[in-house]
Amino acid sequence: MIFKSIRSKIILWYMLVLALTLFVFSLVLYHNLNKSLYRNIDDLLRSRAEGVISSIDTYWETEKLEIAKDGGKEAVYSKINNEHFAQLAQDWVDEKSTDPALVNITVQIYDINGRNIASSQNIPESPNFKKNIADLLLTRKAHYDTFDIALPDAKPLRLRTMTMPEFENGRIAYLVQVGSPLTSISASLNRLQAILFILLPLTVFLTGIVGAFLAKKTLSPVDEMIATIHQITAENLKQKIGIPRTNDEIQRLAETFNDMLDRLADSFTTQQQFIQDLSHELKTPLTVIKGELEVTLKKLRSPADYETVLISSLEEIDKLTRLTENLLMLARMENKEIVLEKKPVDLNVLIAGIADDLRILAEQKQVRLEYEPRPQVNIMADPAQLRRVFLNLLDNAIKYTPSGGRVCINLEPVPDRVRIAVSDTGVGIPANELKNIFHRFYRSEKTGSDIGFGLGLSIANSIILALHGSIEVNSAVGKGSTFTVILPLSSQL
């Protein structure tokens, strides 16, 4: 359970990554140190081998000069398989055995047949010595080797050797092998291994403790947020969680959550208001039907009276039917259950037809309906739903414009868009009510409470939004209102 929390996962992953990083670092460090130490001892062995060869050759040249002074033939003295040279090499080794430069350095000299002709210490040959001699005679280059020497009552001694050939007249005259024990190198590497073996887990453990403290400190605002969230219910959505001033993801999370709470609170408020409004809208026609039926049933009535009651009840039922259809339409639009059947529509023809249809209604109220036809303006839209939008806007404009007033429709193409303005000289809408006119069941106090259900503008707004457009409204009390619909041209869809 402990490893299911974010804090534990962060600490665990941090420790794993750190352990892997330190492990790789330790391997690289160990490898580089090992390589560096071996490179140093190889350089030392090469230097000592070159010094041995140079010193022996000097002794040999001096010996040849002494022989020449005594009348001997210098030319017959070759170092190759020469017993006199072998004796000189052993004498040199014995003489230089106390040389500080050769401390912890073994020197062995071999002839071209691999026979040991001089040695500073009695050291066994490498198991691969014969093969190394053959390779060296073939390649004529120095050769390094590492092997273990068995010691009585002690651990085997690891020795690093270098075998270097010396040439005479282009031929290998003899071989010098110098060696040095690897005790100090092994001790250094073992000490490093022990240090890394202790420090690596200790570092990871201590870092985990520090990481746990830092993770707790960093995530403490989250714990506070969780405690506050547990206290939030549908009844107190106005309560907010504290926002830590950390300028990081936790602060953005808190701000986002508070924004979500605001949206939920608005949604709950809207839902409650919708239920109240719907109850009010349903109550009136149901009360009328119930009252008329109760009055009618108190005594026998004439057929004409029954017919009047039935006609009145039918009118109220028609209102309920329209209300239900409008609510269903609005709900399906908001839930995107209605897919608009978009097709090319000549907006000029559509609005001209709607204006002709409503002109009779306008004339009955003595309202002048004006529309000046425009050239062809094509958009992609659902003709039936778009017709519903402009029927609603024009019907409202005529309905709320007194006799002698004017309703004007203006179609104006603009870059990438087309703007359709429906203006009237009616009662207007108060400024404080403009933000609510597209809400369901909202009706301005200026319009009275007995006209419509307050759903038309909400449905119209949903349709326009589905067509990637927008509706804007400007109004002044006593001067009229202007509803402007903005839709994208067909080339922009």
pLDDT tens for each residue of 26-55: 999 999 999 999 999 999 999 988 988 898
The string of pLDDT tens digits covering residues 282-305 is: 777 788 788 878 888 888 878 887
Q: Is the separation of the CB atoms in 419 and 488 below 8 Å? A: no
Q: Residue 304: enclosing H or E segment and its boundaries?
A: helix 303-334
Q: What is the mean pLDDT of the chain?
A: 81
Residue 1: which pLDDT band, with cuts at 50, 70 and 90?
Answer: very low
Residue 334: its pLDDT value, please?
64
Report, as an integer, the average pLDDT of 83-90. Answer: 85
Structure confidence by residue, pLDDT tens digits, 414-435: 888 888 899 999 888 888 777 7
Per-residue pLDDT averaged across 353-374, rounded?
87
247: left (phi over 0), alpha (psi -120 to 50) or beta: left
* DSSP SS3 for 223: helix
344: tokens are 């090319």
Query: In terms of residues, how long is the chain?
Result: 493
The pLDDT score that the predictor gives to residue 335 is 61
Contact 422, 397 (CB under 8 A): yes
Q: Domains for the chain: give ranges and CATH numbers.
A: 2-188 (no CATH), 249-334 (1.10.287.130), 343-492 (3.30.565.10)
Considering only 128-132, 244-248, 345-349, which range has the smallest mean pLDDT? 128-132
pLDDT band at residue 24 under the 50/70/90 scheme: very high
Q: Give 215 or 408, the one with higher predicted confidence.
A: 408
Residue 447: is its pLDDT beyond 60? no
Report the share of the chain in percent with pLDDT over 90: 11
Strand partners, 417: 414, 488
Name which of 101, 75, 82, 102 is nearest 174 in CA terms. Answer: 82
pLDDT band for 222, please (50, 70, 90 cuts). Answer: confident
User: What pLDDT is attached to residue 21?
Assistant: 92
Per mean pLDDT, which of 17-21, 63-67, 131-135, 378-382 is the most reliable? 17-21
Q: How far apart are CA 4 and CA 493, in angstroms?
A: 48
Residues 60-77 have a mean pLDDT of 67
Q: How many C-beta atoms surround the C-beta of residue 114 within 10 A?
A: 15
State mean pLDDT over 404-409: 91
Question: How is residue 190 written in tokens?
Answer: 């073992």
Give per-residue pLDDT as tens, 254-284. 888 888 888 887 777 767 766 666 676 677 7
91-120: average pLDDT? 81
Query: What is the DSSP code (8-state) at residue 376?
Result: -
Q: How confident is the model at residue 125 (pLDDT cuts 50, 70, 90)?
A: low
The pLDDT-based confidence of 70 (bands split at 50, 70, 90) is low
252 vs 281, higher pLDDT: 252
Q: Cα angle at 87 between 84 and 91, to 5 degrees?
A: 140
Contact 428, 481 (CB under 8 A): yes
Is the pTM above the cut of 0.75? Answer: no
Average pLDDT rounded to a whole number, residues 443-468: 68
343-348 average pLDDT score: 87
User: What element of type H or E holds 126?
Assistant: none
